[in-house]
């Protein structure tokens, strides 16, 4: 009878061993989960940046083929609804991009060079802006700090704000 009790005690884990394993797993999860969430957020922000660059390319194509280039202190506003946006319908979180409040602003410098600013806005099912990129130059989207330009609860700039930021006197909008 004593031998049998010894054999039963030798099989399995003690309560302290199980608690130690649970504590170790909890510590590992406490470290891993924030890292995974951070990685997923960075990936979504990278996708926003990539989508903004695609939009810039589509706007450049539209400007080259169908729209008059800006003159003097004039700016041309090309909305997402004006370009072939089949690849830019959904943001990385599954929300739709706002076709009227997502736009590229094109201006001409004193040297005749064209400059591009992008405003890319995602909206929820109620039409409220959720996340996006607010009026940034193309060169800013290529920099090391580019992920900081993806904002939550983005606000849509008025035409007056746009003209102040880009130094234009007027804005001509593209008609879809």
**pTM for the full predicted model:** 0.81
Phi, then psi, of 113 in degrees rounded to 5? -80, 140
pLDDT at site 5: 54
pLDDT at site 6: 54
SS (H, E, C) the chain: CHHHHHHHHHCCCCHHHHHHHHHHHHHHHHHHHHHHHHHHHHHHHHHHHHHHHHHHHHHHHHHHHCCCCCCCCEEEEEEHHHCCCCCCCECCCCCEECCCCCEEEEEECCCCCEEEEEEEEEECCCCCEEEEEEEEECHHHHCCCHHHHEEECCCCCCHHHHHHHHCCCEEEECCC
Q: How far apart are CA 167 and CA 100, in angstroms?
A: 22
CA angle, 167 then 173 then 145, to 5°: 50
| Residues listed for the chain | 176
Output the tens digit of pLDDT for each of the chain's 176 residues: 455 555 555 678 899 999 999 999 999 999 999 999 999 999 999 999 999 999 999 999 999 888 888 888 899 999 999 998 888 889 999 999 999 999 999 999 888 899 999 999 999 999 999 999 999 998 899 888 899 999 998 899 999 999 998 888 999 988 77
């Amino acid at each position: 009878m004593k031998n049998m009790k010894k054999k039963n005690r030798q099989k399995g884990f003690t309560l302290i061993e199980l608690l130690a394993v649970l504590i170790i797993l909890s510590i590992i999860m406490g470290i891993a989960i924030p890292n995974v969430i951070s990685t997923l957020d960075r990936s979504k922000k990278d996708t926003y940046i990539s989508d903004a660059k695609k939009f810039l390319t589509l706007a450049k194509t539209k400007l080259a083929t169908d729209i008059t280039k800006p003159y003097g202190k004039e700016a041309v506003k090309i909305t997402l609804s004006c370009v072939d946006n089949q690849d830019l319908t959904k943001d990385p979180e599954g929300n739709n991009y706002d076709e009227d409040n997502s736009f590229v602003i094109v201006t001409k410098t004193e040297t005749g060079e064209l400059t591009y600013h992008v405003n890319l806005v995602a909206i929820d099912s109620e039409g409220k802006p959720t996340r996006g990129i607010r009026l940034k130059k193309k060169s800013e989207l290529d920099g090391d700090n580019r992920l900081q330009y993806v904002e939550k609860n983005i606000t849509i700039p008025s035409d007056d704000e746009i003209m102040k930021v880009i130094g234009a006197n007027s804005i001509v909008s593209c008609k879809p």
